[in-house]
Structure 1
């Protein structure tokens, strides 16, 4: 089997490497700033764990390979101007938006998009970074460093945030996981729940949207689509052409994880429907020291990324899964006692949503 080289050597690359073993694939994550150029064979495959990467000898080397999957897609999706333009061209609902030009003014943005306008950098800016709010009542101007560097979006009064993870192979075959309900705090994903019967009626709508995006670009691999739910309509917020944090629950909750599914797709192995195994919850570990007590809790799987602990940093995640929802709820109650007080709102949200499911 060919080697699968992964541009980026963070936690997603590590989890791709873990998922490769049962498939008899060799996965090699590569740091973009590495001084060593990997020796890539003619039939090897190159994929990514991130949309943006610096211009370095390694990134130029990997992106020039014939086996670089989706080489012409990443730039279009990583740049929010091109991503939004693509969604508009495909008639897929997204928040109304405008380009922030070098001569744009806050008054113009409010006139076109309303009293509350969110500025986003064209590239980067995930996990709550690279964003700036313009509120008409504040009377603030567009900061100088935002002129010519971002887009502006209308604030959407959404009901909740959902995401869909799907995969497509080179022949156009597609599979999808159930919709996932997500909680963000200060722009950072804190918890995900899937499946939820109360949003199941939106599954076909979501699959049609993501399927259209993947087909139109000829995308191969796993892609995640983050959406706002407004009533019974979905609006695309962001696209991620890679495995995604909101799909981590699939490691415990599906017969094929998103990481294995991505490797199957890019290496030409068969895709199969990801049968779901009971109720899943994913809790992100943000800025918290590792506690081995997490490992004692039934129905949990703990992933620690081996990073230095810093406030606001994603350091790991905990998957909870069981065929009986009551077992998951009991495990959540026990886990709650082992995380700091700022997680109270997270567990309150998960408890409420499981009761509504």
Structure 2
């Protein structure tokens, strides 16, 4: 009898995204192996974990020999490490995409080259550069690190020109090492994200646009499909396809978008599965995690259609009581197995329904039971309109 070897997917980074990738891979007959420097990385609760930092090439050499394909669960894996691994094993997405997404200046430049408009921006390497950039862009504006910033980290909002000194005091030390970028503040009407997946053979699919709300720079709630975006859905798909083909991208990625005066503006790209796509686990025919595994292993892609309407609550710092979600019809609970800590993503919940009115009622009940009305009411009002 021939014993079939199950493919092994290697994942750089052991957070909740790696955890959910491993859970999606198992039903496909795919084993996973995770690398992280933290012994308590939560993906290690559901998949084998190798302890190593990103320059531990001896351990990474063994890791490369044990897996068939490598992917990553967060974009701050050094591009050099991804390139080094790509010389030994297939790595998807291409490390080139990782390098672009790690640099906000390169990212914004690529957006514009692909026809996606962005807020005005300027590179800032010195205090004088900041003055020149502010003279051009004006205030309000946001000074950001070009690298290593996410979830609102590495940012300083300049409300008026007099805030320039405080902004430089907060972030100027990082200008020499990583560079800074000044971006015009956008009084946007909505925040949307588009999740897309591209296969090795070029097959390209997109999930419905998702509307997002943030608290202190961290995603707090997602609603999908975003209501009243018919005119934007096709344009978002066109832009995502152009970007994916430009990068030779394989796997799932997210584009975070602003809507201003009915037009899409590019904010950021995440070259990985994304927080705003967690609703797809229960709310889409094929989730972002399943399709990412399919794409990087060369398997046919799954259907990205929504099953109905979904709202995802993001739990930050600590988990609330699970009971109201578990009691809700079509309510789903996800505990990432992390210790509570301020600002940390520790879990999420998704509530689904076949129509907007039913979903509005269900999430209203859950939000009241958890005293999260302020978090949920924007979505409830949008669904009720």
TM-score by length of structure 1 reads 0.92
Task: List alignment gaps of at least 5 residues for structure 2.
Answer: 1-5, 39-50, 53-58
Aligned to 1:222, what secondary structure does the other structure show? strand
Q: Which residue of 2 aligns with 1:350?
A: 379
Q: Which residue of 2 aligns with 1:249?
A: 279
- Residues 133-172 of structure 1: per-residue CA shift (max 9 Å, x gap): 2233534323332534211101112111000000011221
Aligned to 1:20, what secondary structure does the other structure show? helix
Q: Which has the higher helix share?
A: 2
Within the alignment, does 1:147 sit opposite 2:175 as a pair?
Answer: yes
- Residues 221-280 of structure 1: per-residue CA shift (max 9 Å, x gap): 001000000122101100000000011111111110000011111000011331211111
Aligned-residue offset at 1:52: 0.6
Aligned-residue offset at 1:193: 0.5
Aligned to 1:312, what secondary structure does the other structure show? coil
In 2, Cα distance between equivalents of 1:274 and 1:55: 29
Residue 304 of structure 1, aligned match among 335, 339, 349: 335
Map residues 89-238 of structure 1 onto 2, 5 A cutoff.
Answer: 89-141=113-165, 142-143=168-169, 144-148=172-176, 149-238=179-268
Flag the 1:150–1:290 CA change in 2: closer, same or farther, 3 A. same
Flag the 1:85–1:137 CA change in 2: closer, same or farther, 3 A. closer
Corresponding residue pairs, total:
353
Aligned-residue offset at 1:317: 0.5
Task: List alignment gaps of at least 5 residues for structure 1.
Answer: none
Paired residues of 1:179 and 1:200 also in contact (CA < 8 A): no
Aligned-residue offset at 1:292: 3.3
- Residues 180-213 of structure 1: per-residue CA shift (max 9 Å, x gap): 0000111110101111341122101001111110
Paired residues of 1:101 and 1:147 also in contact (CA < 8 A): yes
Within the alignment, does 1:320 sit opposite 2:385 as a pair?
Answer: no
Aligned-residue offset at 1:355: 1.1
Aligned to 2:228, what secondary structure does the other structure show? helix
Flag the 1:32–1:288 CA change in 2: closer, same or farther, 3 A. closer
Within the alignment, does 1:83 sit opposite 2:111 as a pair?
Answer: no
Identify the range of structure 1 (110-119 vs 282-291) with the bigger mean alpha-carbon deviation: 282-291
Aligned-residue offset at 1:217: 0.6
Aligned to 2:337, what secondary structure does the other structure show? coil
In 2, Cα distance between equivalents of 1:331 and 1:62: 46
TM-score by length of structure 2 reads 0.86
Residue 98 of structure 2, aligned match among 67, 74, 83: 74
Q: Which residue of 2 aligns with 1:20?
A: 25
Aligned to 1:72, what secondary structure does the other structure show? helix
In 1, Cα distance between equivalents of 2:301 and 2:218: 31
In 2, Cα distance between equivalents of 1:257 and 1:278: 14
Flag the 1:259–1:2 CA change in 2: closer, same or farther, 3 A. same
Flag the 1:290–1:297 CA change in 2: closer, same or farther, 3 A. same
In 1, Cα distance between equivalents of 2:133 and 2:220: 31
CA RMSD of aligned residues (A): 2.1
In 2, Cα distance between equivalents of 1:139 and 1:12: 37
Aligned-residue offset at 1:105: 4.4
